[in-house]
């Protein structure tokens, strides 16, 4: 069974933490992953840096630019991840944009993901129809979950289609904006969370974008199976990326 499915079986209030590969330093990827698992994160989302990350806010964009300057590429990342499963047991997803993945080769990308122990991918700018027509077979053959995103602007018909063709979980984008830590949760977001909850989708759901602290995490968990924290963690890494600070950050969210 895929590790993502295993985590959702018997667990609630899942915490998925995003960080950019190769940030703040090129060789930090495995160390940060180990520290996050030790601190209590349930799932990891490793970002593949890209020069034009359309869904990312300034914090993650800045981390991507620094990672690229550090020398991070898809090839370098896979080389770093070749011993991933010696150190990390929880599910790991890669989040990246379609351009560098296409350049690497999607079939090859899926093969290497399976070899190093990646459980799922999130590719925000890969159209679902293109995925279904051309790439789904490669992902399924290698047991890699492909996670789609929905937002407040996604129609019910579209959400139902995404639910039908998703695996692992559905990424519920909390607002129609780019990523970034935001203060609190707005009433309109709560109505949106409730509407999605009442649709009783077959896939599990994690809420992301704007989840930044214990309060927003707990609110998200009332309406979904857990939450994804990214920008707030990247800001912490910029200030101090030590294992002890990573531990305090995660425990501050989940305590």
Q: Would you tell me how many other CB atoms lie within 10 Å of the CB of residue 165? A: 15
Pairing state of beta strands 226-229 and 14-20? parallel
- Known catalytic residue at 13: no
| Sheet strand arrangement including 14-20 | 145-147, 120-122, 92-95, 43-47, 14-20, 226-229, 205-208, 170-173, 149-150
Domains and CATH numbers, the chain: 3-254 (3.20.20.70)
Give residue-wise pLDDT tens across range 66-117.
999 999 999 999 999 999 999 999 999 999 999 999 999 999 999 999 999 9
Mean pLDDT throughout 155-172?
Answer: 96
**Mean pLDDT, the chain, whole residue set:** 93
- Known catalytic residue at 45: yes
pLDDT at 167: 93
pLDDT at 11: 86
Catalytic residue among 5, 13, 28, 45: 45
Phi/psi of residue 7, nearest 5 degrees: -65, -40
Catalytic residue among 28, 37, 56, 225: 56
Closest to 17 measured CA to CA, from 193, 229, 223: 229
pLDDT at 52: 75
């Amino acid at each position: 069974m895929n590790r993502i499915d295993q985590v959702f079986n018997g667990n609630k209030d899942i915490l998925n933490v995003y960080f950019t590969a190769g940030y703040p330093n090129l060789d930090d990827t495995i160390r940060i992953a180990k520290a996050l698992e030790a601190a209590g994160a349930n799932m990891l989302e490793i970002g593949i840096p890209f020069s034009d990350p359309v869904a990312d806010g300034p914090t993650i964009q800045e981390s991507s630019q620094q990672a690229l300057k550090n020398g991070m590429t898809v090839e370098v990342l896979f080389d770093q991840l070749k011993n991933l499963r010696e150190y990390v047991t929880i599910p790991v997803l890669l989040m990246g944009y379609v351009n560098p993945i296409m350049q690497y080769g999607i079939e090859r990308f899926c093969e290497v993901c399976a070899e190093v122990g990646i459980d799922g991918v999130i590719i925000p700018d890969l159209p679902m129809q293109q995925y279904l027509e051309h790439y789904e077979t490669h992902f399924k053959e290698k047991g890699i979950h492909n996670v789609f995103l929905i937002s407040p602007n996604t129609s019910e018909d579209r959400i139902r289609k995404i639910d039908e063709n998703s695996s692992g979980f559905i990424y519920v984008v909390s607002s129609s904006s780019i990523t970034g830590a935001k203060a609190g949760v707005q009433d309109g977001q709560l109505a949106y969370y409730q509407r999605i909850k009442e649709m009783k989708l077959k896939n599990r759901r994690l809420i992301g974008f704007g989840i930044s602290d214990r309060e927003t995490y707990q609110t998200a968990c009332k309406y979904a199976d857990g939450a994804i924290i990214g920008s707030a963690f990247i800001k912490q890494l910029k200030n101090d990326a030590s294992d002890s600070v990573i531990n305090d950050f995660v425990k501050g969210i989940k305590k």
